[in-house]
């Protein structure tokens, strides 16, 4: 399913310049992460498990058995608390689908990870692709490889697209 959604998002990118094309591709990937996270929230595969508070902003952490964390539930199976948790999940999914919040990162630990979501309505700036940093990292990689390894130029030319 992810591949179909992603292909649909980027099929109209072909005509754009390299910079715009890369930026659109990154936006499409980010958007797909938002949609997949919303679907997981709506199907109950993941749920809110925590809130990270920083000065002037907060991020919500979601996870569940598929991320290696336990699903949060009301103490003693309290139905009222479980309904509130379910409502929070639906609200988060709606905000993700309406592009009001986005997946802002992941917290990875031993044997598990959580997905963090946030956005301007929570005081966190919208996540934007930073292609200049990506370009600097790419140039550093190429300099390092060129300095320490021999790469056949004919092979590089054969596998490089214009």
pLDDT in tens, 75-112: 887 889 889 999 999 999 999 999 999 999 888 888 89
DSSP string, 21-77: HHHHHHHHHHHHHHHHHHHHHHTTSSEEEEEEEETTEEEEEEE-GGGTSPPP--GGG
Tell me the pLDDT tens digit for each residue of 109-137: 888 999 999 999 999 988 776 666 666 66
- Token pair of 24 as six digits: 């659109």
Which helix (H) or strand (E) segment holds residue 115: the answer is strand 112-118
Q: Give me the residue spans of the domains in the chain.
A: 2-126
């Amino acid at each position: 399913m992810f591949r179909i959604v992603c292909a649909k998002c980027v099929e109209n990118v072909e005509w754009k310049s390299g910079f715009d094309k890369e930026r659109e591709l990154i936006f499409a990937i980010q958007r797909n992460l938002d949609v997949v996270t919303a679907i997981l929230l709506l199907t109950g595969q993941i749920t809110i498990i925590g809130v990270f508070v920083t000065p002037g902003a907060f991020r919500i952490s979601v996870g569940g058995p598929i991320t290696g964390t336990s699903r949060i539930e009301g103490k003693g199976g309290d139905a009222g608390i479980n309904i509130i948790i379910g409502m929070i999940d639906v609200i988060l999914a709606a905000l993700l689908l309406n592009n009001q919040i986005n997946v802002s990162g992941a917290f990875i630990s031993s044997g598990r990870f959580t997905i963090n979501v946030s956005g301007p309505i929570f005081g966190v700036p919208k996540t934007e692709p930073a292609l200049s940093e990506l370009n600097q990292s790419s140039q550093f990689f190429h300099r390092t490889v060129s300095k320490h390894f021999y790469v056949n130029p004919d092979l590089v030319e054969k596998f490089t697209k214009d």
